[in-house]
Amino acid sequence: MPLKPLDIYKLLPKKNCKECGDPTCLTFAMKLSGGKAKPEACPYLDDNAKTILGASTRPPVRRIRIGVGERALTVGEELVQFRHEKSFFHEPGIMIAVTDMMPAESIKKEVIFVRDWVLTRIGTDLRLNGIAVRSVSGSPEQFARAVGAVEEVADLPEVLMADDPLVMEAGLSVCGNYRPLIHAARLLQYREMCRLAKKYGCPLAIKADSLDSLAELSGLCVAEGVDHLVLDLSSPNLHALLNASTAVRQHAISRTTPALGYPVCIDTGLGGLSDASLIAGVTKFGSVLICDDLPGASRKALLVLRQNIYTDPQKPIQITPGLYRVGTPGRDSPVLLTVNFSLTFFTLQGYLEASRVPCFMLIVDTEGLSVLTAVASGKLQETVVRDAIGKYDLANEVSHRTLIIPGYSAPLSGRIEEITGWKVLVGPRDAADIAEFLEKEWKP
Amino acid sequence: MGLTPLSEWSGQIGELVIGATRTDGGTRSHAVTIGGERDLPYIGIPPSGHIPRVAYELTDDPSLWQSAAIRTIGDRAHDPSDWAAFAEKELQPDLIRLYLSSTRRRGFSDLSQIGKTVEAVLQATKLPLIIEGSNDPALDSSVFRKIGEAAEGERVLLGTAESGRYRSAAAAAMAYGHSLIAQSPIDINLAKQLNILLRETGLPHDRIAIDPYTGALGYGFEYSYSVMERIRYSALKGDTDLAMPLISSAADSLTVKEVREAEGGDADQAAVAWEMYSMLPATLAGASIVCVRHPLSIAGLKSAIASLWNGQKSVGV
Amino acid sequence: MISVEKAVNAGKESLEGRMGAIEGSFSYEETAYHLPVTFALTGNIVTEAGGAQEAYRASAQNPLVAGECLLAHQASLEGKEPSPYTGFIPDAVLRTLGYSLVDGSILGLVLVAGSPPAPDTAAGLCRELQEKYMLTFLSGTIVQNLTSSGVKVGAEYRLVPLGSRPFSALHFIDIIARVAMMFGGVTPGDAERLLSYAKERAKAIVIVFPGLNDEEIALVDAFRLLGIPVIAAGDYDGNGWIRVLPADAVRAGMDLKGIKVSVTAIPIPMACSPAFEGKSIRKEEMQVEFGGGKSPAFELLRVRPAAEVQDGKVRLIGPDIDAIPEGSAAPLGIIIDVAGKQMKKEYEPVLERRIHNFVNYGEGSWHVAQRDLIWVRLSKEAVAKGVRIPDIGTLLAAKFRMDFPDLLDAVQVTLITDEKTVLAERELAEKVYRERDDRIRGMRDTDVDTFYSCTLCQTFAPNHVCIITPERPALCGAITWLDGKIAYEIAPAGANQPVEKGKIIDMDRGEFEGVNRFVKKASHGEVDRCSLYSIMEFPMTCCGCFECIAVMLPEVNGFMVVNREFKGVTPSGMSFSTLAGTIGGGAQTPGFAGISKSYILSERFLQAEGGIQRLVWMPAILRQELKGRLLEVLAKKGIESLFDKIADENMAGTIGELASFLVSADHPALAMKPLF
Q: Is the pLDDT of residue B281 over 90?
A: yes
Tell if the CB–CB gap between B175 and C95 is shorter than 8 Å. Answer: yes
pLDDT of amino acid A377: 66
Task: Answer whether C354 touches A (CB < 8 Å).
Answer: no
Place B177 in a pLDDT band, splitting at 50, 70 and 90: very high
Place B317 in a pLDDT band, splitting at 50, 70 and 90: very low
Q: Is the pLDDT of residue A238 over 50?
A: yes
Task: Answer whether C183 touches B (CB < 8 Å).
Answer: yes
In chain C, which residue's Cα lies nearest the Cα of A314?
Answer: C460
Dihedral, CA atoms, C250, C255, C261, C266, nearest 10 degrees? 100
- The more confident residue out of C437 and A209 is A209
Tell if the CB–CB gap between B269 and A305 is shorter than 8 Å. Answer: no
Q: Domains of chain A, with CATH numbers?
A: 5-57 (1.10.15.40), 64-309 (3.20.20.20), 322-441 (3.40.50.11600)
Residue B114 lies inside a defined structural domain of this protein: yes
Q: How far is CA A397 from the centre of its chain?
A: 38
Collapsing DSSP to helix, strand or coil, B291 comes out as strand
Judge whether C301 and C393 are in contact, CB under 8 Å: no
Task: Answer whether A372 touches C (CB < 8 Å).
Answer: no
Q: Is the pLDDT of residue B22 over 90?
A: yes
pLDDT in tens, B66-123: 888 888 899 999 999 999 999 999 999 999 999 999 998 878 889 999 999 999 999 9
> C521 to chain B: which residues are within 8 Å by CB?
238-239
In chain C, which residue's Cα lies nearest the Cα of B192?
Answer: C493
Domain with CATH 3.40.50.2030 in chain C: 2-256
Residue C446 zone, left/alpha/beta (φ > 0; ψ -120 to 50; rest): alpha
Task: Answer whether B243 touches C (CB < 8 Å).
Answer: no
Residue B1 lies inside a defined structural domain of this protein: no
Distance spanning both ends of chain B, measured CA to CA:
35
- Which of B144, B145, B203 has the highest number of chain C CBs within 10 A, making it the mutation to test binding with C? B145
Collapsing DSSP to helix, strand or coil, B52 comes out as coil
Please tell me which of the candidates A212, A260, A308 has its beta carbon nearest to residue B2.
A212
Place A1 in a pLDDT band, splitting at 50, 70 and 90: low
Residue B277 lies inside a defined structural domain of this protein: yes
Contacts of C137 (CB under 8 A, 6+ apart): C109, C110, C111, C112, C160, C161, C162, C169, C171, C172, C175
Place A198 in a pLDDT band, splitting at 50, 70 and 90: very high
Tell me the C-alpha distance between C547 and C551, whole Å. Answer: 13
Tell if the CB–CB gap between C183 and B174 is shorter than 8 Å. Answer: yes
Tell if the CB–CB gap between A243 and B230 is shorter than 8 Å. Answer: no
In chain C, which residue's Cα lies nearest the Cα of B227?
Answer: C459
pLDDT of amino acid C345: 87
> A85 to chain C: which residues are within 8 Å by CB?
462
Tell me the C-alpha distance between C277 and C357, whole Å. Answer: 7
pLDDT of amino acid C543: 79
Tell me the C-alpha distance between B96 and B126, whole Å. Answer: 10
Size of the A and C interface in Cβ pairs below 8 Å? 86
Contacts of B263 (CB under 8 A, 6+ apart): none
Dihedral, CA atoms, C564, C569, C574, C579, nearest 10 degrees? 10
- Which of B168, B194, B233 has the highest number of chain C CBs within 10 A, making it the mutation to test binding with C? B168
> A301 to chain B: which residues are within 8 Å by CB?
217, 273-274, 276-277
Place A2 in a pLDDT band, splitting at 50, 70 and 90: low
pLDDT of amino acid B20: 97
To the nearest whole Å, the CA of C414 is away from the closest chain B CA by 32
Tell me the C-alpha distance between A91 and C17, whole Å. Answer: 86
Tell if the CB–CB gap between A309 and B281 is shorter than 8 Å. Answer: yes
Q: The CATH number of the domain where B295 resides is what?
A: 3.20.20.20
pLDDT of amino acid B315: 54
Q: Show the low-confidence residues of chain C (pLDDT under 50).
A: none
The Cα angle at residue B194 between residues B190 and B198, in degrees rounded to 5:
170
Tell if the CB–CB gap between A308 and B274 is shorter than 8 Å. Answer: no
Task: Answer whether A416 touches C (CB < 8 Å).
Answer: yes
Helix, strand, coil shares, percent, chain B, to 5:
45, 15, 35
Closest CA to C592 of C582, C600, C601: C582
Class of domain C277-431: alpha beta
Closest CA to B245 of B237, B236, B254, B257: B236
The architecture that CATH gives domain C447-671 is: 3-Layer(aba) Sandwich (3.40)
Tell if the CB–CB gap between B303 and A273 is shorter than 8 Å. Answer: yes
The Cα angle at residue A172 between residues A170 and A178, in degrees rounded to 5:
155
Task: Answer whether B105 touches C (CB < 8 Å).
Answer: no
pLDDT of amino acid B264: 77
Please tell me which of the candidates B170, B187, B237 has its beta carbon nearest to residue C524.
B237
Judge whether C672 and C642 are in contact, CB under 8 Å: no
Partners of A130 in the beta sheet? Answer: A95
Please tell me which of the candidates C96, C102, C525 has its beta carbon nearest to residue B167.
C102
Average pLDDT over residues B136-140: 86
Tell me the fold of C2-256: Rossmann fold (3.40.50)
Task: Answer whether C568 touches A (CB < 8 Å).
Answer: no
Task: List, edge to edge, every strand of the sheet that includes C297-303.
Answer: C297-303, C332-339, C410-416, C314-317
Size of the B and C interface in Cβ pairs below 8 Å? 68
Q: How far is CA C277 from the centre of its chain?
A: 24
> C184 to chain B: which residues are within 8 Å by CB?
202
Collapsing DSSP to helix, strand or coil, C313 comes out as coil
Q: Is the pLDDT of residue B316 over 50?
A: no
Task: Answer whether B213 touches A (CB < 8 Å).
Answer: no
In chain B, which residue's Cα lies nearest the Cα of C497?
Answer: B193
Look at the alpha carbons of A352, A354, A359, A361 in this order and tell me if their dihedral is positive or negative: positive
Residue C562, phi then psi, degrees to nearest 5: -125, 140
Closest CA to B43 of A306, A77, A285: A285
Residue B172 lies inside a defined structural domain of this protein: yes
pLDDT in tens, A252-273: 998 889 999 999 999 998 878 9
Secondary structure (DSSP) of A424-444 = EEE--SSGGGHHHHHHHH---
- Which of A83, A217, A242, A370 has the highest number of chain B CBs within 10 A, making it the mutation to test binding with B? A242
Secondary structure (DSSP) of B79-139 = -HHHHHHHIIIII--SEEEEE-GGGGSTT---HHHHHHHHHHHHHH--S-EEEE----HHH
Residue B61 per-residue DSSP state: -
- Which of B167, B190, B213 has the highest number of chain C CBs within 10 A, making it the mutation to test binding with C? B167
- Which of B45, B307, B314, B315 has the highest number of chain A CBs within 10 A, making it the mutation to test binding with A? B307
Task: Answer whether A355 touches C (CB < 8 Å).
Answer: no
Residue B316 lies inside a defined structural domain of this protein: no
With residue B161 as reference, give the H or E element that holds it.
Answer: strand B157-161
Tell me the C-alpha distance between C644 and C414, whole Å. Answer: 50
Residue B212 lies inside a defined structural domain of this protein: yes
Task: Answer whether A219 touches C (CB < 8 Å).
Answer: no
Place A385 in a pLDDT band, splitting at 50, 70 and 90: very high
Neighbours of chain B (3+ CB pairs under 8 A): A, C
Tell if the CB–CB gap between C589 and A4 is shorter than 8 Å. Answer: yes
Determine the number of helices (DSSP H) and then strands (DSSP E) in chain A.
Answer: 17, 17
Tell if the CB–CB gap between A407 and C656 is shorter than 8 Å. Answer: no
Residue A160 per-residue DSSP state: E
Residue B35, phi then psi, degrees to nearest 5: 90, -155
Judge whether C367 and C235 are in contact, CB under 8 Å: no
Tell if the CB–CB gap between C460 and A4 is shorter than 8 Å. Answer: no
Q: Is the pLDDT of residue B130 over 50?
A: yes
Tell if the CB–CB gap between A346 and B219 is shorter than 8 Å. Answer: yes
Please tell me which of the candidates C277, C584, C592 has its beta carbon nearest to residue A410.
C277
Give the count of domains, chain B: 1
Closest CA to C195 of C39, C41, C36, C38: C41
Domain with CATH 3.30.1650.10 in chain C: 277-431
> A284 to chain B: which residues are within 8 Å by CB?
284
Tell me the C-alpha distance between C522 and C373, whole Å. Answer: 41
Residue B315 lies inside a defined structural domain of this protein: no
pLDDT of amino acid C459: 64
Task: Answer whether C572 touches A (CB < 8 Å).
Answer: yes
Closest CA to B20 of B112, B120, B153: B153
Place A114 in a pLDDT band, splitting at 50, 70 and 90: very high
Task: Answer whether B146 touches A (CB < 8 Å).
Answer: no
Q: Which amino acid is at C665?
A: A
Collapsing DSSP to helix, strand or coil, A354 comes out as helix
Residue B154 lies inside a defined structural domain of this protein: yes
Tell if the CB–CB gap between B193 and C103 is shorter than 8 Å. Answer: no
- Give the CA distances from residue A58 to residues A51, A222, A253, C258, in Å, rounded to whole numbers and listed in that order: 11, 16, 11, 62
Judge whether A208 and A230 are in contact, CB under 8 Å: no
In chain A, which residue's Cα lies nearest the Cα of B65?
Answer: A354
The Cα angle at residue C41 between residues B152 and C67, in degrees rounded to 5:
100
pLDDT of amino acid C349: 86
Q: Structural domain of residue B281, as residue ranges?
A: 15-310
Closest CA to A427 of B104, C278, C364: C278
Tell if the CB–CB gap between B222 and A311 is shorter than 8 Å. Answer: yes
Partners of C140 in the beta sheet? Answer: none
To the nearest whole Å, the CA of B263 is away from the closest chain C CA by 38
